[in-house]
Chain A
Amino acid sequence: GAGVSQSPSNKVTEKGKDVELRCDPISGHTALYWYRQSLGQGLEFLIYFQGNSAPDKSGLPSDRFSAERTGGSVSTLTIQRTQQEDSAVYLCASSRLGGTNEKLFFGSGTQLSVL
């Protein structure tokens, strides 16, 4: 596609429910990143994919968070048993090869609200 696409754009859920957030990176981009943007915490790295593998999961805040990527393309971030502190904007980004000096292309994010 022309850019990084994320869905849904907004998600409201009840505490304790599971949610899935989807990211469609730019076609051909091998690197994919998830970040979380919340008030008071700024932008935090969650996970990095190179192809379908996730060599860096160091930013996932707890074992309730998981992510996968299939076909070297679409990625899904899953949050189990959501808590109110999970409320944030979840941003996905991709880059062509994953190099340190590469530009990241960001999606518009999923605004998650946990009631």
Chain B
Amino acid sequence: AQSVTQPDIHITVSEGASLELRCNYSYGATPYLFWYVQSPGQGLQLLLKYFSGDTLVQGIKGFEAEFKRSQSSFNLRKPSVHWSDAAEYFCAVAGGTSYGKLTFGQGTILTVHP
């Protein structure tokens, strides 16, 4: 069965600083990987996804993620964080079924200091 690990429960950065959120997955074949963001009281919104092709994927709100098969990682990055990026971020993997059943990581809470 697939699994996802997000090693950092909580990250604090200053506005304007760069950001990297870590995600490691476990899956036997090529995975479908996703990053979702959840603002307080809101549902999850897709930031980006990877399922084939270029290992560096661009998403909304200036986010990008890089798939590294050798490290089983799919880390999320942003060059310059804005205060509005404060939220909880979830990495997820789909696979093993013919439908979009996701296995999520535990999430990383991002706090942005002015």
What is the interface of chain A, defined by CB distance below 8 A to chain B? 4, 31, 33, 35, 42-43, 45, 48, 50, 55-56, 91, 93, 95, 98-109
Tell me whether B101 and A50 are in contact (CB under 8 A). no
Known: A43-B104, A48-B99, A48-B101. A101 touches B51 (CB 8 A): yes
Which B residue sits closest to A99, measured CB to CB? B100
A108 and B32 contact, Cβ closer than 8 Å, known pairs A48-B101, A50-B99, A100-B95: no
B→A interface (CB under 8 Å): 32, 36, 41-46, 49, 51, 90, 92, 94-95, 97-107
**Residues of A contacting B94 in the complex (Cβ-Cβ under 8 angstroms):** 100-101
Question: By the criterion CB–CB under 8 Å, are B49 and A31 in contact?
Answer: no
Q: Which among B90, B97, B107 has the greatest number of chain A C-beta atoms within 10 A?
A: B97
Q: Inside 8 A of B107's CB, which chain A residues have their CB?
A: 42-43
B90 CB to nearest chain A CB (Å): 7
Are A100 and B32 neighbours in the complex by a CB distance under 8 Å?
Answer: yes
Complex contacts, A98 vs chain B, CB 8 Å: 99-100
Contact A108 B46 (CB under 8 A): no
**Which of A33, A45, A95, A103 has the most CB atoms of chain B within a 10 A radius of its CB?**
A103
A45 touches B103 (CB 8 A): yes
